[in-house]
Amino acid sequence: MGAEFGAGAEAPFVLAVPSKGRLQEAAAEFFAHAGLELVQGRGARDYRGAIAGVAGVEVAYVSSTEIVGQLAAGQAHFGVAGEDLVREKVPDVEARLELLSPLGFGHANVVVATPRAWIDVRTMADLDDVASAYRARRGERMRVATKYVNLTRRFFAEHGVADYRIVESLGATEGAPASGLAELIVDITTTGTTLAANALKPLDDGVILRSQATLIASLTALWSSNARRAARDILARIAASEEAARSREIRARLPSPAHLAVEAAYERFGAVSATGEDVDPHGFVALHCARGKVAELAGWLLEKGAERVSVAALEQTFDARNALYEALEERIGPDGA
């Protein structure tokens, strides 16, 4: 695949996305919504792809754990992964990665859960006390089954819980207390039904992380001019659809001139002119406004003398300022080439 880029051409920008399951579908849907159609290679077993209409981008379909590894090692520029995996697998996240944008899917909490029969344990402080009593009585430490070794260690240390041992669990963690492999668990949960089915309960203050799928940039990848161009393009489209989803366009005609009304609409409702600074001398206004403020703004325009106010949904809204890319460039530095 690499041979398609000639010897003199710049290395491609690599976007790593999940290779299977619901996460793959949700990620593809998210990008499609931003006008970025992921095109998988011809065979079903081809784990390379491209984005239709964006040059110099290679899409890599890999497992979630591998995505995190590739981002940390700088082998991929962008990737989609759960924040739980990122915080667990990458030491010193802030120095290596930039978490660009939460994607609104793949929600799950990493929680501390104990047997429901422990009616005397509701908080981490209770757990601390019970763990030290357990050790005093048995001379052994309470065992915590989890695949989140690092998250667990950090969270327990923050709460001063020291008398425990981690038992690494690579699957069916929630069954560990029942089968006698551990006394409690740290695991991911979405609805809590799996915990309940195993007679476990999360502690009141035992939420370690509220995680969701996140678009992540690698700070250690090689940021060539080509890679920057691709990143800027992708982020402009994502920002355009995110901004569009948040806003509505409102049109009306006021008794002329309209520039004072536009300023007032900004101050009162945070609305901005749909096409920038230019204001029509005949009183025509087109504004973009947050969804929640639309009805209020419409009422206000009618008060100001508009006869009719129309509201329309937006597909995409491109801005000269690319805030997502600017945030990234601040971390990777300006293009030296």
Partner 1 sequence: MNLTVDAQSQSNIVSQAPRSAGERALDHFLAAGFERTEPPILHPAAIFLDMSGEEVRRRLFLTADAAGEELCLRPEYTIPVCRAYLASDKAGRVAEYSYLGPVFRARADQGGEQTQTGLESFGRTDAEAADAEVFALGLEAAMAAGGGALAARVGDARLFEAVLESLEISAPWRRRLRRGVARGRGLDAIFSRPSQGALAQPGVLAALESADHTGAKALVEDLLAIAGIETVGGRSAGEIADRFLEQASLRSGEPIETEKRAVLDAFLSISGDPDQAAIELRRLADSARLDLGAALDAFEMRTGFIAARGPKIEDIRFSAAFVRDFDYYTGFVFEAHDPAAPRAKTALAGGRYDGLARRLGSADDIPAVGAAITLDRLVSGGER
Q: Could you tell me the strand order of the sheet in which 38-40 lies?
A: 38-40, 48-51, 54-62, 13-18, 78-82, 213-218, 97-102
Strand, coil or helix: 186 = strand
We find the least distance from the C-beta atom of residue 166 to partner 1, in angstroms, to be 5
Q: For residues 115 and 202, which CB has a smaller minimum distance to partner 1 in the complex?
A: 115
The single residue listed with the structure tokens 């995680």 is 211
Residue 14, CA distances (Å) to 60, 103, 238, 260, 322 in order: 7, 19, 17, 47, 20
Residues that bind partner 1 (CB under 8 A): 114-115, 117-120, 122-123, 125-126, 129-130, 132-143, 153, 156-157, 160, 162-166, 177, 180, 182-184, 199, 204
Residues 6 or more apart whose CB falls under 8 angstroms from that of 21 comprise: none
Q: For residues 117 and 295, which CB has a smaller minimum distance to partner 1 in the complex?
A: 117
Q: For residues 204 and 335, which CB has a smaller minimum distance to partner 1 in the complex?
A: 204
We find the least distance from the C-beta atom of residue 210 to partner 1, in angstroms, to be 22
Dist. CA 242–CA 326, nearest whole Å: 16
The single residue listed with the structure tokens 């937006």 is 314
We find the least distance from the C-beta atom of residue 130 to partner 1, in angstroms, to be 7
Residues 6 or more apart whose CB falls under 8 angstroms from that of 186 comprise: 110, 111, 112, 113, 144, 145, 146, 148, 151, 152, 155, 173, 208
We find the least distance from the C-beta atom of residue 115 to partner 1, in angstroms, to be 4
We find the least distance from the C-beta atom of residue 83 to partner 1, in angstroms, to be 21
Q: For residues 15 and 161, which CB has a smaller minimum distance to partner 1 in the complex?
A: 161
Q: For residues 89 and 288, which CB has a smaller minimum distance to partner 1 in the complex?
A: 89
Residue 163, CA distances (Å) to 74, 111, 141 in order: 37, 18, 5
At 218, which helix (H) or strand (E)? strand 213-218
Name the token pair of 264: 């007032």
Dist. CA 336–CA 164, nearest whole Å: 50
Q: For residues 135 and 259, which CB has a smaller minimum distance to partner 1 in the complex?
A: 135
By C-alpha distance, which of 93, 108, 191, 110 is closest to 144?
110
We find the least distance from the C-beta atom of residue 21 to partner 1, in angstroms, to be 30
Dist. CA 136–CA 34, nearest whole Å: 58
We find the least distance from the C-beta atom of residue 203 to partner 1, in angstroms, to be 10
We find the least distance from the C-beta atom of residue 112 to partner 1, in angstroms, to be 13
Q: For residues 129 and 280, which CB has a smaller minimum distance to partner 1 in the complex?
A: 129
Q: For residues 205 and 296, which CB has a smaller minimum distance to partner 1 in the complex?
A: 205
